[in-house]
Structure 1
Amino acid sequence: MRRTHLALLSAALLLSIPATGGAQQGPSGTQAKPPAQRQTQPRLSAITLSGRYLAARVAEQDHDYDSAVDQIDLALGQAQNDPELVYAAFRLRMYAGRIEQAAQLAPQILAARPGDGLANLVLAVQAIKKADYRTAEQQLGRIGGDSQLGPLREYVLAWLKAGEKDFAGARARIAKLKPAGGERAEAPALVIEAQMDEMAGDKAAAEEKYRRAMALDKNGLRTTVSVAEGLMRLGKAAEARELLKTYGEKYSDAVVMDGLIAPNAPIPPQPTPASGISEILFDIGGIMSSDPRNARADLALIFYQLAASLKPEHDFAWLMIAGLYEQFQMVPKAIEALGKIGPNSPLYWQARLRAAALDAQQEKFDQAVARLKTLVAEKPNRIDAALTLADLLRGKEKYSDAVQAYDTAIMRIRNLEERHWSVFFGRGIVLERTKQWPKAEADMKKALELSPEQPHVLNYLGYSWIDQGLHLDEGMKMLQRATELRPDDGAITDSVGWAFYRVGQYDKAVEWLERAAEQKGDDATIIEHLGDAYWHVGRKREARFQWERALNQKPDKDRLPVIKDKLENGLSAANDKPTVYEKPVEAKQGG
């Protein structure tokens, strides 16, 4: 089943959209045109119509929604009354974030299917922008109670009541779904109530609820920012800045609060139904994007786009939109979304880091490095820019430069914590790749000291020891522990098999390496190892077959001549060497 069909199916089930399958079929001329008109239609035009529709479908499959909209709109211009084309154009405009253009098609859709969820919702959003809350409420009422909005529908309706100054009605709506008192889940509801109290002019009630929300959700970024903004509006600016500063210091690797706590930072705007409903639509998008099957990512994008349409400065929405576009491998669109996050946002630093890293995916590696180096210099006390740079350089196999970047990151760590194991692990990898094994080994040990049960570190260090003939017993114990922690990880299974290989237990090596090949059959190293083990147990034809497979699976450059030599001459002392790097003979005596 295609991804786009899954998205439509999700919409049909959850938004009460009739599942006609229109997005999977071409436009129907018999439905769109009477027979007489169809007879006079030039054949070339019909071909062009189909071609444009198919071009839109291909672009949609690639998540290139802007191109898809351009093509479907051209097709729609040739068959303006074709219901399937109209709905396809509406849906693609929503995906592309062209909400105003999508709304233009909504009445045409609702004339045929009055209960359509997305069409009613987008018209409700348009009414909210105009502060026409009664019309918005009527529009949402046509969707039905079992819509995609689900329980959050009551919060949307509560905001509309607040917009109509019916604060008693708004509170009654919220009371229907309010979580039990004292639970963390109560915090968002308290924030909404506090914002509505602000709108009603009850400052004391608003302040009390903001404080309760903060006490329940001290670690939530959105709650912290919302509470701080509320306190600023209530004249508690110094307290709000201190709250933000404390949070920023606690989570310095994730956010930068400089823009919000600056003395000249503007007072946040007053809450409105548009801003409040934007948050609800964002939450719906979050529910969809958390689907473990990833079947509703396209629909999640629609709700993030709607959230940003109601609140253009919704930085969390833009960050999630960027993340989805990155997932869709639409890197320019991801960077464009990140560019919407402004300098005052706590997410601004994160957005700049991510945009720099994405530059490298567009073959703008030098630009990415330059931007990251600027960020490294801009805030000398932060490690994240240096770490991002180090990881980027490591990914591009620029190991010597990566070592320097990791050095910078590690020098900036003020208090070592368990979470820093990955920094030492990363530097250990690039030190090993630059043939500095003693330093690499020290970093691997440090990573394990910080987090003793990290399977990837246990695997890497144990593998490296055994591959070099060092600390065989300890290395084997590490690998066995790693497999207990990650039994289905092909790379770790391969390490155990290779350990048995290096100590000459080839039958066991074959057993483990065959399992690794089943778990991760597209890994050239695993397949090469399996070929080596087959050779040693006399299965030489199968060994050559595996080496041929390895050769076709893009092995590391330094392995290419080795694999070719094995194919031509078989396994020999010259090509059967450690894959980490060969140590002097006298150094291989440990056990």
Structure 2
Amino acid sequence: MVLWCKRGGAAMAAFAMVAVLTTGCGPRSGGGTAAGSADEVRPAARSALSGYLAGRLAQGVGDSRSAADYYAQALKHDPDNTELLQRTFSLMAAEGRLDVAQPLAERVLAFDADQPLPLVVAGLGAAQAGRWAEAEAKFAQLPKRGINAILGPLMVAWAKVGAGDQGAPLALEALAKTKGLEPLAAFHGALIADIGGRVQVAEDGYRTALSTQLSVRGIEAAGSWYQRTGRLDEAAKLYSRYQGDHPDSMLFDAKRLLSQGGGIAPVVPDARAGLAEALFDIASLMRQGNASDVAMLYARLALWMRPDLPLAQTTVADILVGQGRLAEANRQYLSVPKGHPAFTYGRLRVAINLDELNDTEGALSALDELARERADSLEALVTKGDILRRRKRFAEAATAYDQAVGRAGVLQSHHWALLYSRAICYERSKQWPKAEADFQEALRLKPDQADVLNYLGYSWVDMGMHLDVARKMLEKAVELRPRDGAIVDSMGWALYRLGDYHGAVRYLERAAELKPEDPTINDHLGDAYWQVGRVEEAMFQWLRANSLEPEPEQIESLKDKIRTGQVPAKPVVRQQ
């Protein structure tokens, strides 16, 4: 008997395949699926086999939360199955369900004492219980290779701090001697010295850590140190330096930090927070290396040790977005403490996700509210413009960008993108003089910006204006981004409009190689082939373009060319 249960997302079709092995509707244990629904129920596994198969299928469609639950159900039916045990543990840990994962880690270690992830989880569990010697022993067993060669010394050092062992700095010596890891070792050495009141050691460590890179956490930690030691001017200089290098950063607020004066709290107040910091650093390294699943795991572990770590909360939410789990991501973004700048970033991301979930009006309403609350900020208005532009509501988008420009005051080089976005919306809403002015001002702020050169140069060619300058702009854009299919297409299509069909073919063939799935590029290449007498190839390109989901305004033109086998007459542009 097939028993259907309420379920959202693609996984239901897969679960139907094993429904004959299941019975009853069991409640969810929390969270959502890949789509993020929180109120689902699923069939309860009647046997180890049905739970295992359902878990495999759930994993196959990206529903790792359901997979963890199914494996857990299977494990209850077959508690001695080591494969089920390891699968359940790994997924529970990756999903941040560490209350379930911790006892499973101990069971894994009972038959394989050297598995790295169970050692980490078991060690963290011991640390939470204040059993620091046990935690250190677990961390010391981590293999001295791969990412564990970095994580192990950090965790051992912080376990020593928790135990009151003065040998914590010695645990970092191996990292400090490893090329490329000196700043990381120096940063954690400074945090440890900061907690211990070793003033000069802490200052030297912060300086070393910041000598090669300016991370948000490094800036916050060193700045907090300066403020607590009565050196507010040095803190202000450090913050200004970071904001100068990262003018668009939404995760840092110097004014908020400086307002706390010398009473600001240390970034890492104790050993548990130090463990969380180490785990977050590993998550950041993994994310930089595009290992998002591993980054998610370590960010979850960091939050287990310190639930109020905003950047780790944001990291988890960002990765959930990449997994398509938008509703879950929104809940995570909104869990960030309201006073932290990451909360504002999160609200912007929530609005973007609402739009992706087809609640565009909800997204716009949320952004309007944020824009009213943050009258000194551009981000909500820019994000509103971006959403409206994506929805092809160009006149409304231009108005939102216009309001953002009004708030910006004196425009700086990094504002070129705002002007570029507004210019596109002006152009698409038939306000060319305003568009042209914005494109030119964007180039003044940021000369040799390929996107602006491409858009303005092509627009001038299409209108027969400033042809020599326009062609040079497009050539420059191609030189700057020779592997950008859209820009190479613009150069080819400009040559086509100028009547240089053989030159157009060369560029358009290259564009089609770079971006073979683009219907516009294939359409353009078909037209160019037709003009040079390669009629059969032209027909192939038009048919291909028509199969690639062209824009609605392209469809009739493509159908006409496919039906007639020729390009409608279109005059070559001449200088106006």
Superposition TM-score tier, normalisation by shorter sequence: 0.7 to 0.9
**C-alpha distance in structure 1 between counterparts of 2:98 and 2:560, whole Å:** 60
**C-alpha distance in structure 2 between counterparts of 1:535 and 1:141, whole Å:** 70
Q: Deviations over 1:64-123 (max 9, x none)?
A: 322121221122222221111111111110110111211111122112211011111110
In structure 1, the residue matched to 2:409 is 414
Cα 1:187–1:516 change in 2 (3 A) is closer
SS at match of 1:342: coil
Maintained 8 Å contact 2:223/2:239: no
Cα 1:385–1:55 change in 2 (3 A) is same
**C-alpha distance in structure 1 between counterparts of 2:260 and 2:299, whole Å:** 31
Which residue, out of 280, 304, 307, partners 1:312? 307
Q: CA deviation at 1:545?
A: 2.7
Query: TM-score scaled to structure 1, two decimals?
Result: 0.82
Cα 1:204–1:544 change in 2 (3 A) is closer
**C-alpha distance in structure 2 between counterparts of 1:498 and 1:561, whole Å:** 20
Maintained 8 Å contact 1:184/1:216: no
Q: Deviations over 1:394-416 (max 9, x none)?
A: 11111111000110111122332
| Correspondences of 1:375-394 after superposition (within 5 Å) | 375-394=370-389
Q: CA deviation at 1:275?
A: 0.7
**C-alpha distance in structure 1 between counterparts of 2:486 and 2:380, whole Å:** 29
| Correspondences of 1:179-578 after superposition (within 5 Å) | 189-200=185-196, 202=197, 204-205=199-200, 208-209=203-204, 212=207, 216=211, 219-230=214-225, 234=228, 236=230, 246=240, 250=244, 253-254=248-249, 255-256=252-253, 260=257, 268=265, 271-291=269-289, 294=290, 296-571=291-566, 573=568, 576=570
Maintained 8 Å contact 1:528/1:546: yes
Q: CA deviation at 1:316?
A: 1.2
Amino acid at match of 1:278: A
Cα 1:577–1:547 change in 2 (3 A) is farther
**C-alpha distance in structure 1 between counterparts of 2:420 and 2:374, whole Å:** 24
**C-alpha distance in structure 2 between counterparts of 1:389 and 1:94, whole Å:** 36
Maintained 8 Å contact 2:142/2:152: no
**C-alpha distance in structure 2 between counterparts of 1:185 and 1:445, whole Å:** 44
Cα 1:433–1:144 change in 2 (3 A) is same
**C-alpha distance in structure 2 between counterparts of 1:411 and 1:359, whole Å:** 26
**C-alpha distance in structure 2 between counterparts of 1:501 and 1:264, whole Å:** 63
Maintained 8 Å contact 2:226/2:235: no
**C-alpha distance in structure 1 between counterparts of 2:399 and 2:45, whole Å:** 61
Q: CA deviation at 1:503?
A: 1.5
**C-alpha distance in structure 2 between counterparts of 1:70 and 1:518, whole Å:** 45
Maintained 8 Å contact 1:229/1:240: no
Cα 1:247–1:322 change in 2 (3 A) is farther
Amino acid at match of 2:557: V
Amino acid at match of 2:575: G
**C-alpha distance in structure 1 between counterparts of 2:45 and 2:449, whole Å:** 61
- Answer with 447-456 or 250-259: which moved more: 250-259
**C-alpha distance in structure 2 between counterparts of 1:298 and 1:563, whole Å:** 42
Maintained 8 Å contact 2:223/2:238: yes
Q: Deviations over 1:14-52 (max 9, x none)?
A: xxxxxxxxxxxx9xxxxxxxxxxxxxxxxxx99964443
Unaligned runs of 5+ in 2: 1-17, 19-43
Query: TM-score scaled to structure 2, two decimals?
Result: 0.84
Cα 1:345–1:218 change in 2 (3 A) is farther
Maintained 8 Å contact 1:248/1:256: no
Q: Deviations over 1:408-428 (max 9, x none)?
A: 111122332222111111111
Q: CA deviation at 1:196?
A: 2.7
**C-alpha distance in structure 2 between counterparts of 1:111 and 1:284, whole Å:** 26
SS at match of 1:347: helix
Q: Deviations over 1:418-460 (max 9, x none)?
A: 2211111111111111122222122111111122211111111
- Report % sequence identity: 33
- Answer with 392-401 or 188-197: which moved more: 188-197
Q: CA deviation at 1:148?
A: 2.8
Maintained 8 Å contact 1:103/1:122: yes
Cα 1:475–1:54 change in 2 (3 A) is farther
Unaligned runs of 5+ in 1: 1-25, 27-44, 579-587
**C-alpha distance in structure 1 between counterparts of 2:76 and 2:263, whole Å:** 46
The count of corresponding residues between Structure 1 and Structure 2 is 530
Q: CA RMSD in A?
A: 3.1
Cα 1:185–1:546 change in 2 (3 A) is same
Maintained 8 Å contact 2:187/2:206: no
Maintained 8 Å contact 1:63/1:330: no
Q: CA deviation at 1:309?
A: 0.8
**Does residue 141 in structure 1 map to residue 140 in structure 2?**
yes
SS at match of 2:172: helix
SS at match of 1:412: helix
In structure 1, the residue matched to 2:105 is 106
**C-alpha distance in structure 2 between counterparts of 1:76 and 1:567, whole Å:** 59
Cα 1:137–1:219 change in 2 (3 A) is closer
Cα 1:311–1:240 change in 2 (3 A) is farther
Cα 1:99–1:243 change in 2 (3 A) is farther
Q: CA deviation at 1:252?
A: 5.9
